[in-house]
Chain A
Amino acid sequence: MSLVTATIKRDLVIAARNPGEWLNPLMFFLMVLALFPLAVDPDPKFLSKIAAGVVWVAALLATLLSLDALFKADVEDGTLEQWLASGESLFAMALGKVFVHWCISGLPLTLVAPLLALMMNLPDEAYSALFFSLLLGTPILSLLGAVGAALTAGVRSGGLLLSLVILPLYIPILIFGASAVYHAGIEMEYVGQLGFLASFLCLSMTLAPFAVAGALKLNLSR
């Protein structure tokens, strides 16, 4: 077994033994969607109009919440130093780390979002659009977020800095994701938006790991 697959396996085991870490963002997602109808107008028509945007914003913020810890533990306990010392490809390592992050944050969000969208009275036609836009969109959030997490891994209380670095990059994803769901809700074509998300995903999958590897190297070679 190579070091990359061993790391993926190990990180999944760690996540399974530390459920609090990845359940927290999921709980946040649940609470936002549960509280929104209580705080604003509970009128179903109004809710169904804003549902797409609210679900997407909540998913984005929940991802942001989980990013801070992505590389922090590995930097602090010396795991990253051992990665670097092993001479294995940092690109593959970064991709593996992001994959695990998506498995414990983006994937559960994508799976529960249709259930929670029920509380926001999302139009029936929009459920598949919601699922597919999140399926394409959350890996992008993880990939872009990993760049910020890698840059701020060595910084104390880097969470705020991370949000500042990453949020501008998230805005196009939010716009295309939410607009896909909204257009599906008013029975319009939404393939275009999903196409944009898919191309963003390809782009970030090929470029983001380079940036992550570079940032981590920078962080460690001090």
Chain B
Amino acid sequence: MPLSRPIDQLNRFTAHCDLSAHQVSCERDDRILFENLDLSINKGDLIQLVGPNGAGKTTLLRLLAGLNQDFDGEVRWHGKNIQQCFQDYARQRLYIGHLSAIKKVLTPLENLRWFVSSWPQVKEDDLWQALEEVTLAGYEDVPCQQLSAGQQRRVALARLLITPTPLWILDEPFTALDKAGVAWLEGHLARHVSAGGTVLITSHHALSEIPGLRQIELGVQK
């Protein structure tokens, strides 16, 4: 069943989405991950970071999400340094890392309730609907420890359906998903982008079928 509410809300938000990195350099353990990187992310972009393991994809993603401040250069949201407008920025972007923040003793519904607690406009019905959309209908009240890794990933991804933010930053969201899940997520990312949203993603998965995809390669210079 398609969800109507969140997409409506999205269109309201996505009048502006402007994230940019200026001369960003990052070094880990005396190894340069990237140097003087310039990046501009606008409304309707779908950007996939690709590169071998250890190339710094997650580091760049966390840095753009404002979670990592250990780098040179500047990341700006609408022309302002993200650390100076962090609260505003945080409400406009959704970050899902490879750690899903799912509590195993809680049910999918309880987990989702925590995730959306700072969005009062999200109703209880939306949560049920989102769980149905990620094919977890009937599992709403089962503790997450009894769900498979793929199902737990689906609980985390159900946030994409209910959090009204234009910018999504996703770290390896395809991990543990089955074929149907991958197809659903690809479709959902494409829908979000065509509705005016923005997606920034790391994945080893080929996303070639989505129009407007831009790839950024990391770790090429040795």
Q: Which residues of A contact B (CB under 8 A)?
A: 1-3, 5-7, 10, 13-14, 17-18, 76-79, 81-82, 84-88, 220-222
Which residues between 94 and 134 of chain B lie within 8 Å of chain A, taking CB atoms? 95, 97-106, 110, 113-115, 117-118, 120
Tell me whether B90 is interfacial, beta carbon within 8 Å. yes
User: Nearest A residue to B70 by beta-carbon distance?
Assistant: A221
Inter-subunit contact B91/A81 (CB<8 Å)? no
Contact A81–B101 (Cβ < 8 Å): yes
Chain B neighbourhood of A77, CB < 8 A: 99-104
Do B90 and A86 touch across chains, with their CB atoms under 8 A apart? yes
Majority secondary structure, B binding face: loop
CA distance A35 to B114 in the complex (A): 43
Give the residues in chain A near B90, CB-CB below 8 Å. 85-88
Query: Which residues in A have their C-beta under 8 angstroms from that of B99?
Result: 76-78, 81
Interchain CB contact under 8 A, B86 and A14: no
- How far is B91's CA from A85's CA once the two chains are assembled, in angstroms? 9
Of A2, A7, A76, A87, most B-chain CB atoms within 10 Å: A87
Q: Is the CB of A85 within 8 A of B95?
A: yes
19 contacts between A and B (CB under 8 A): A2-B118, A6-B114, A6-B117, A10-B103, A10-B106, A13-B110, A17-B105, A17-B106, A76-B99, A77-B99, A78-B100, A81-B67, A81-B97, A81-B99, A85-B66, A85-B67, A87-B89, A88-B90, A221-B67
Complex Cα distance, B113 from A7, in Å, reads 10
| Neighbour of B67 across the interface among A10, A13, A220, CB < 8 A | A220
Please name the residue on chain B nearest to A7 by beta carbon: B114
**Chain A, Cβ-Cβ closest to B68:** A221
Q: Is the interface of A mostly helix, strand, loop or mixed?
A: helix
Q: List A contacts of B97 (CB < 8 A).
A: 78, 81
Could you tell me how many residues of chain B have their Cβ less than 8 Å away from some Cβ of chain A? 29
Q: Of the candidates A10, A17, A88, which one forms a contact with B118 in the assembled complex, judged by CB atoms under 8 Å apart?
A: A88
Report Cα–Cα, A58/B76, bound state, in Å.
52
Across the interface, do B105 and A87 meet the contact criterion of CB distance under 8 Å? no
Point out the residues of chain A lying under 8 angstroms from B95, CB to CB. 81-82, 85
A220–B58 alpha-carbon span in the complex (Å): 13
* B144 smallest CB distance to A (angstroms): 10
Residues of chain A contacted by B86 (CB below 8 angstroms):
87
Q: Given A7-B114, A221-B70, decide whether A18 and B103 contact each other with a Cβ distance below 8 A.
A: no
Whether B87 is near chain A, meaning CB under 8 Å from some CB there, is yes
B69 interfacial by beta-carbon distance below 8 Å = yes
B100: A residues at CB distance < 8 A: 77-78
Check: B65 CB closer than 8 A to any chain A CB.
Answer: yes
Closest to B103 in A: A14
User: B106 to A82, Cβ gap below 8 A?
Assistant: no
Q: Which residues of A contact B117 (CB under 8 A)?
A: 1-3, 5-7
